[in-house]
A and B are shown apart, each in its own frame.
Chain A
């Protein structure tokens, strides 16, 4: 069930090293914070974004879903992401990457790594899973072409037709059957 997309496999090992043994360092306050964020996220009905822990025994690893916002080239597409919370969350930002290959100026097409200020130096403890997901969703429609992880995509951004063709070329629909 965890293998949502086979393309995520190569980067998995690097990912796992980051949150070492959750529960050991992760205090009860982190768990509590994550539970309450889950509750808030579930009860809020933000369209197109969603996330849930991958297993009930480990609250630090979540799987998420982002639907492309309407009116952008990503409209109608659905991307899977994985969220990994550090033990000292929310004081440190979670690590997020795309599991589905995403052709986007600020996303590394191979590793799925994301370049977003609030996930790096602009992180603040007042952010939550919900705000991150919303930011990621809006990032799809409004990329920051100044600091691209995918320069080709950044260059193509101004020609929407070609850009969209590239997006669709790389896009792979997340199907449940791939699990």
Chain B
């Protein structure tokens, strides 16, 4: 039931609508002209089918403009726009059809030129449907937005892939002479762009593709950078790459970047400011990619040091820009574990690489935080290796023949550095770097040797090992030239301090003293024996032997002892006859044989001057029960020389007359044999000394287990304090007891040990 008021309201509304459309014209003529104008405008704006040539009509622009004016006066433009957009939606299928055509072509061929063609075709559609600019900005932007929405809804997922490869193809376009295939597109016929890719970028922009696929475009560039770095920098450590990469960026990538990011720039300055943000992002990416690459290669870079210095400097610069320090540490630690810290690696190699790591990481990170983190596992591992100390010491004294030394010759020799406490009064003091862990100890740029020595807690071990090494070297010197050793000792004194090397000093003195004493003794009575006289107390234990020299050798020794006793009445000589070498000349019936042989060989052949045939066991008894193996070896030397003959039943016979077979090989009557080298080292190594000590402790353990029954490990450890000089840890003891258990000496049950009997 309509009330009067409602009726009146509707009537009013109708009236005002009518007068708006009629625009105050008489009768309904206004209404008629409006309807005519609407038709013209709608017809003009109608989205036509580009593929249908008949649909293209020429409009009288005068009339069209008039029609729009009329509509504008009637305030019907929004309605017209709505109408237009609606018909666009209805006509969408034309575009859809073409898009799917292009896309299927692309999907079949994977050629991005179809994508380009598609984009350019879309532009044609866009232009064809666009309303005239006179309609104002609002209508245009509404149209653009609607067109974008329509096209985006049409584009299939594979478009983004094709679009990406199209973008990638523009990268190489910058400097390619031949225009791309899509440049001949009819839409571009009359344009003469500055650059071949310019129209394409404009098209992208008009279609709103740039905004929509922004991340895709930058990812294309990222990938481009990555490939370039992979190709140009992998394995090239000898030259600075970062600067070159930046040059490359400026020359090749920046010009390309102008298109997607600074197309609208009118001046260089403007372009520069537009590119700043994205440019620094790309620069960051360059640094990150390079640092990733170098991080991956770090182990080999270190091996190549110092040839790879440039790569390290690049890495340093990159790491300042990107935060990849943790990755670097982890990668290097992993690589070290995999490639370095395994049983197959020589200790010397590990040390060499460690030294290189020290040097390299100091370049990358002078405060040493990275080094500290990387070095820790290496140091732990080295501590477990038995021959680490020996290797370090050997390189300390410059083992001439071992080639590359751990120590840089040019490095100044400095005293060992102790751990330094931060000096807070130092005006140049800097706090620890932010990623330094709580255990980080500032190791001021110290020399390599200090770092190596600090692997162990005390330097005493080094000094001990040094003594052993020195003893070996001194005893092996035959020409009496100790200058090298003296020089080494002087160098080491600077490092370890005077007092630590006192013993070494004595050892060296012994050598020169021996020479002097020998000269004196010889002056009293000329003898063919030249002993080296050492002060037992200051030398590492020498391996003992039961050997006694027979015949003339013994006489010589006695004679020498007598002379020595008159020279130094308060001292007594104790012979170590198994060390040294003897020059012999054997006069046989038909020939003389001269040889330079170890004492045991000489002792045997001396015995053969008593009688011609000896059983081996009798020979052994005569020289003090040497073991069968070394006796056999010594006799074999003579057999080889054709002086003796093994009879097979364990007896040896002297060949006064050379046997046919023996002498047929070489006709000379005099032969020189090199001294049989490769004997067991005369000096006990530190390890052997420790094993020797452990034998003493075993007696104690045996004693306590015999008398006290069963004991726990802790109890054994504390009871061992009764043994003089016991300094092992419980862990070491546990290892030892375990070894004893394996030998069946003890048994363990519930943590208590007892003797196995």
Chain B, Cβ-Cβ closest to A41: B703
User: What is the CA–CA distance of A55 and B709 in the complex, to the nearest angstrom?
Assistant: 12
User: What is the CA–CA distance of A157 and B702 in the complex, to the nearest angstrom?
Assistant: 34
User: What is the CA–CA distance of A39 and B722 in the complex, to the nearest angstrom?
Assistant: 9
1/0 per residue, CB under 8 A from A, across B684-726: the answer is 0000000000001001101110111111000100110111100
User: What is the CA–CA distance of A179 and B696 in the complex, to the nearest angstrom?
Assistant: 27
Interface stretch, picked from A46-54, A101-109, A137-145, is A46-54
B645: interface (CB < 8 Å): no
Chain B, Cβ-Cβ closest to A53: B722
B754: interface (CB < 8 Å): yes
A89: interface (CB < 8 Å): no
12 pairs, A vs B, C-beta closer than 8 Å: A1-B708, A4-B709, A42-B702, A42-B703, A43-B696, A43-B699, A52-B707, A52-B719, A56-B722, A65-B706, A176-B709, A179-B710
A38: interface (CB < 8 Å): yes
With a cutoff of 8 Å between Cβ atoms, the chain A residues found around residue B754 in the complex are 176
A94: interface (CB < 8 Å): no
Q: How far is the CB of A84 from chain B (nearest CB, A)?
A: 14
Asked if B718 contacts A35 (CB within 8 A), the reply is no
Asked if A56 contacts B703 (CB within 8 A), the reply is no
Asked if A38 contacts B722 (CB within 8 A), the reply is yes
User: What is the CA–CA distance of A41 and B696 in the complex, to the nearest angstrom?
Assistant: 11
Q: How far is the CB of A31 from chain B (nearest CB, A)?
A: 11
Residues of A within 8 A of B (CB): 1, 4, 35, 38-39, 41-43, 50-56, 59, 62-65, 80, 176, 179
User: What is the CA–CA distance of A52 and B706 in the complex, to the nearest angstrom?
Assistant: 8
With a cutoff of 8 Å between Cβ atoms, the chain B residues found around residue A50 in the complex are 702-703, 706-707
From A39, A51, A56, A59, give the contact of B724 (CB < 8 A): A39
With a cutoff of 8 Å between Cβ atoms, the chain B residues found around residue A41 in the complex are 703
User: What is the CA–CA distance of A179 and B709 in the complex, to the nearest angstrom?
Assistant: 7
User: What is the CA–CA distance of A1 and B704 in the complex, to the nearest angstrom?
Assistant: 12
Chain A, Cβ-Cβ closest to B697: A42
User: What is the CA–CA distance of A54 and B718 in the complex, to the nearest angstrom?
Assistant: 12
- Beyond A35-B722, A35-B724, 12 extra complex contacts between A and B, CB < 8 Å: A4-B709, A38-B703, A38-B722, A41-B703, A42-B696, A42-B700, A42-B702, A51-B703, A52-B703, A56-B722, A63-B708, A176-B709
Known contacts: A35-B724, A39-B724, A59-B722. The answer to whether A52 contacts B708 by CB under 8 A is yes
With a cutoff of 8 Å between Cβ atoms, the chain B residues found around residue A43 in the complex are 696, 699
User: What is the CA–CA distance of A123 and B719 in the complex, to the nearest angstrom?
Assistant: 29
Asked if B708 contacts A64 (CB within 8 A), the reply is no
With a cutoff of 8 Å between Cβ atoms, the chain B residues found around residue A42 in the complex are 696, 699-700, 702-703, 723
Q: Which 10 A-B pairs have the closest CB atoms?
A: A176-B709, A52-B707, A63-B707, A42-B699, A52-B703, A52-B704, A50-B706, A179-B709, A56-B719, A176-B710
Q: How far is the CB of B243 from chain A (nearest CB, A)?
A: 70
Residues of B within 8 A of A (CB): 696, 699-700, 702-704, 706-711, 715, 718-719, 721-724, 754
Asked if B722 contacts A64 (CB within 8 A), the reply is no
User: What is the CA–CA distance of A151 and B696 in the complex, to the nearest angstrom?
Assistant: 44
Chain B, Cβ-Cβ closest to A49: B706
Q: How far is the CB of A83 from chain B (nearest CB, A)?
A: 10
With a cutoff of 8 Å between Cβ atoms, the chain A residues found around residue B709 in the complex are 1, 4, 176, 179
Asked if B707 contacts A51 (CB within 8 A), the reply is yes
With a cutoff of 8 Å between Cβ atoms, the chain B residues found around residue A55 in the complex are 719
With a cutoff of 8 Å between Cβ atoms, the chain A residues found around residue B703 in the complex are 38, 41-42, 50-52
User: What is the CA–CA distance of A4 and B700 in the complex, to the nearest angstrom?
Assistant: 19
With a cutoff of 8 Å between Cβ atoms, the chain A residues found around residue B711 in the complex are 1
User: What is the CA–CA distance of A56 and B716 in the complex, to the nearest angstrom?
Assistant: 9
Q: How far is the CB of B716 from chain A (nearest CB, A)?
A: 10
Asked if A56 contacts B710 (CB within 8 A), the reply is no
With a cutoff of 8 Å between Cβ atoms, the chain B residues found around residue A63 in the complex are 707-708
Q: How far is the CB of A1 from chain B (nearest CB, A)?
A: 6
User: What is the CA–CA distance of A116 and B721 in the complex, to the nearest angstrom?
Assistant: 33
With a cutoff of 8 Å between Cβ atoms, the chain A residues found around residue B719 in the complex are 52-53, 55-56
Chain B, Cβ-Cβ closest to A82: B707
User: What is the CA–CA distance of A151 and B47 in the complex, to the nearest angstrom?
Assistant: 141
Known contacts: A43-B696, A43-B699, A176-B754. The answer to whether A62 contacts B724 by CB under 8 A is no
User: What is the CA–CA distance of A81 and B721 in the complex, to the nearest angstrom?
Assistant: 23
Asked if B707 contacts A56 (CB within 8 A), the reply is no
From A35, A39, A59, A62, give the contact of B707 (CB < 8 A): A62
Asked if A56 contacts B708 (CB within 8 A), the reply is no
Q: How far is the CB of B754 from chain A (nearest CB, A)?
A: 5
User: What is the CA–CA distance of A43 and B696 in the complex, to the nearest angstrom?
Assistant: 7
User: What is the CA–CA distance of A179 and B715 in the complex, to the nearest angstrom?
Assistant: 15
User: What is the CA–CA distance of A64 and B709 in the complex, to the nearest angstrom?
Assistant: 11
Most buried by B among A35, A52, A55, A63: A52
User: What is the CA–CA distance of A38 and B700 in the complex, to the nearest angstrom?
Assistant: 9
Chain B, Cβ-Cβ closest to A3: B709
Most buried by A among B707, B721, B722, B754: B707
User: What is the CA–CA distance of A101 and B721 in the complex, to the nearest angstrom?
Assistant: 32
With a cutoff of 8 Å between Cβ atoms, the chain A residues found around residue B707 in the complex are 50-52, 62-65, 80
